[in-house]
């Protein structure tokens, strides 16, 4: 299984969208340890939501679709409906 996940930084008041086989592990060992350049300044991040996919390709497509919206409002709508 692969997951698309949404993280939130209270420090920056920003969301981050990514995909992984293990979003919880990626959050603790990569994002919150400063090992991901794009999230380094917003530590700590919290996991707001995740959605599972049967293939990596499906997860990548969903991640790109969400990122292409370039919209905080859209992410908030996803979270409100819990995707």
pTM for the model: 0.95
The second-level CATH assignment, the architecture, of 2-80 is 3-Layer(aba) Sandwich (3.40)
What is the overall mean pLDDT for the chain?
97
Q: pLDDT tens digits, residue range 9-23?
A: 999 999 999 999 999
Q: pLDDT tens digits, residue range 33-68?
A: 999 999 999 999 999 999 999 999 999 999 999 999
What's the rounded Cα separation, in Å, for the pair 81 and 66? 14
What's the Cα-to-Cα distance from 13 to each of 41, 44, 61, 80, rounded to whole Å?
Answer: 11, 11, 25, 17
């Amino acid at each position: 299984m692969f997951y698309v996940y949404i993280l939130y930084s209270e420090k920056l008041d920003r969301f981050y969208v990514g995909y992984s086989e293990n979003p919880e592990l990626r959050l603790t060992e990569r994002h919150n340890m400063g090992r991901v350049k794009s999230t380094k300044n917003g530590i700590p991040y919290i996991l707001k939501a995740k959605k599972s996919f049967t293939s990596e390709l499906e997860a990548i497509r969903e991640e790109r679709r969400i990122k292409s919206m370039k919209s905080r409002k859209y992410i908030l709508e996803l979270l409100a409906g819990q995707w």
